[in-house]
Amino acid sequence: MSQQAADHPVTPRSRVTSEAVGPPGVLGARNLMRFATNQLAFLRNLADEYGDVVELKMLGRPWFLVNHPDDIEAVMVKHARVMGRDDYAKVLERALGFGLLTSEGELWKRQRRLMSQAFVPKRIQSYGGAMVRVTEAAVKGWRHGQEINLHQEMSRITMEVVADVLFGAGVSATDGETVRGAMEVINEFFANSPEAIAKLAPWVPTPRNFRMRRAIAQIDELIFRIIARRRAGEQRDDLLGTLLSAEDADGARMSDQQLRDEAVTLFLAEHETTALTLAHTLFLLSKHPDVERKLHAELKQTLGDRSPTADDVKALPYTERVIKESMRLFPPAWTTGREALEAVDIGGHHIPKGAQILLSQWVVHRDPRWFPNPEGFDPDRWTPERAKELPRFAYFPFGGGPRVCIGNHFAMMEATLILAVIAERWRLDLLPGQELELEPSVTLRQKGPGLRVRLTTQR
Ligand code: HEM
């Protein structure tokens, strides 16, 4: 047996191509209804009932839910060349244009190369200072005994981090407020709105469409203004600066429009996912005092009383395990979609050209074949010895293959540093009656206004 096979046990798979099974329905109206009513339970039940590759019709189109890690690897890596963006990318284009998340083909390839220059390890390390500075400034206003809204507070911190990392000190307080307001409108549009689900044209006169148009116009005005200042000679060593000077092999640089699309993409892709990771982690810590104690002990031992830096991250393995386990249970990106651009064979099943393929982190991360006691919060699943027993794609919070999240190391460093700054000084206790109530939209969010917690100082 090869080392790889020994590290990643593979269940025996049929090699004969056959049709996948799934719930009945030719047009799929009932499936769509069930999906819309309780998406998380619907997908989990499909996997339990029909197995590793499930076929279902929704809105008359074939959909395939792929649940086995080897098959997920086949979709994301082996067949990546014939996998396009899923239908939802068209909705996202409305705010993101053709940034890295929504573009395809040659444009995506070129952009991925250019954008990678801002995400090399040395550059990522350099963003650590801003992450710590912004978080320390945010928690400075916290008071012992105060009640805060956990989700809103994490969102405020990560939004300020991304603004600082992208634009440095180039955003005034007023502009910052405008961006925050506009980003909230955009988030809300993608999260819950009938306009997004029905892919309503932007000119249709609904109040939400109007708010969305205004929010995009505000963001555009600010970003184009910042780009113009930079082009006129203002020098800053921030992420935008790296993107402005990034050159491809023939010396070409990004246009203003492309820079705008990438900046908005980074803003949106960074702040909500990382804020949710932190909110879920702090929620879990409040429920698991034994884990919290171990985390505090590691922070105390490694940092003493000083602030963390990017260099400390690798010396905080337990903190990393806590975050990884939180993303297993509550993956901020809870599904990833693809459209088959050609017919393919996945796990011995025929998938026709044009089918939508759904890979769900929510489903696979809770599969008892890979994670015994799947609902349990156990950071020690991520000790190196135990983690290497897992199939490679049993855990994929950041996706995988050529389109793997470009910000994955950035996000892990950011979550670790923010958690370290908070947990070094504060305990967050859930107020009575507060429970996590999930609302899956583009990300796995909290239903309603967010959890309320009480702050207690550690020292
Ligand atoms: C916990 C935080 C995060 C999670 C869970 C997450 C998750 C993901 C996932 C699953 C994908 C792949 C989507 C697909 O294959 O279709 C992705 C792509 C992407 N993410 Fe993240 N992300 C996080 C943080 C970030 C951060 C911090 C940034 C930037 C600073 C970022 C920027 C992007 C971009 C630009 C893409 C598109 C990459 C491409 O298609 O080439 N993400 N993310």
For residue 100, the CA-to-ligand 1 centroid distance in Å is 9
Going from the C-alpha of 314 to that of each of 41, 297, 302, 320, the distances in angstroms are 36, 16, 11, 9
Contact in structure between 422 and 135 (CB atoms under 8 Å):
yes
- Which backbone phi and psi does 149 adopt, to 5 degrees? -90, 110
For residue 431, the CA-to-ligand 1 centroid distance in Å is 32
* Residue 377 tokens, joined: 């919060």
Question: Which residue from 101, 326, 405, 416 has its CB within 8 A of the most atoms of ligand 1, so it is best to mutate?
Answer: 405
Which residues contact residue 78 at a Cβ distance below 8 angstroms, ignoring those fewer than 6 apart? Answer: none
Place of tokens 């099974």: 21
What does the pLDDT read at residue 5? Answer: 37
SS3 (DSSP) at 293: helix
Tens digit of pLDDT at every position of the chain (459 positions): 333 333 444 444 555 567 777 777 655 666 666 666 688 999 999 999 999 999 988 777 889 999 999 999 999 999 999 999 987 788 888 889 999 999 999 999 999 999 999 999 999 999 999 999 999 999 999 999 999 999 999 999 999 899 889 888 667 778 888 888 888 888 878 776 777 766 777 777 788 888 889 999 999 998 999 899 888 887 888 899 999 999 888 888 999 999 999 999 998 888 899 999 999 999 999 999 999 999 999 999 999 989 999 999 999 999 999 999 999 999 999 999 999 999 999 999 999 999 999 999 999 999 999 999 999 999 999 999 999 999 999 999 999 999 999 999 999 999 999 999 999 999 999 999 998 999 888 899 888 889 999 999 986
Lining ligand 1 with CB less than 6 A are 100-101, 112, 265-266, 269-270, 273-274, 277, 332-333, 336, 397-399, 403, 405-407, 410-411
What are the start-end ranges of the E strands in 22-154?
53-58, 61-66, 83-85, 147-149
- Which backbone phi and psi does 56 adopt, to 5 degrees? -145, 155
Atom of ligand 1 nearest to the CA of 162: 30
Tell me how far apart the terminal alpha carbons of the chain are, to the nearest angstrom.
53
Contact in structure between 94 and 202 (CB atoms under 8 Å):
yes
For residue 407, the CA-to-ligand 1 centroid distance in Å is 6
What does the pLDDT read at residue 17? Answer: 66
Atom 29 (ligand 1): residue with closest C-alpha? 407
Note the pLDDT tens digit of each residue in 50-101. Answer: 999 999 887 778 899 999 999 999 999 999 999 999 877 888 888 899 999 9
For residue 102, the CA-to-ligand 1 centroid distance in Å is 11
What does the pLDDT read at residue 170? Answer: 66
Strand pairing partners for 430?
453
B/e letters for 285-309, b = 16+ CB within 10 Å, e = fewer, are bbebeebbebbbebbeebbeeeebe
What does the pLDDT read at residue 9? Answer: 41
- As a whole number of Å, the CA-based R_g of the chain is 22
Distance, in Å, from the CA atom of 337 to the CA atom of 349, rounded to the nearest integer, reads: 18
The domain spans of the chain are: 24-93+335-375
* Residue 346 tokens, joined: 């996945």
For residue 397, the CA-to-ligand 1 centroid distance in Å is 9
What does the pLDDT read at residue 173? Answer: 75
SS3 (DSSP) at 248: coil
24-93+335-375, which class in CATH? alpha beta
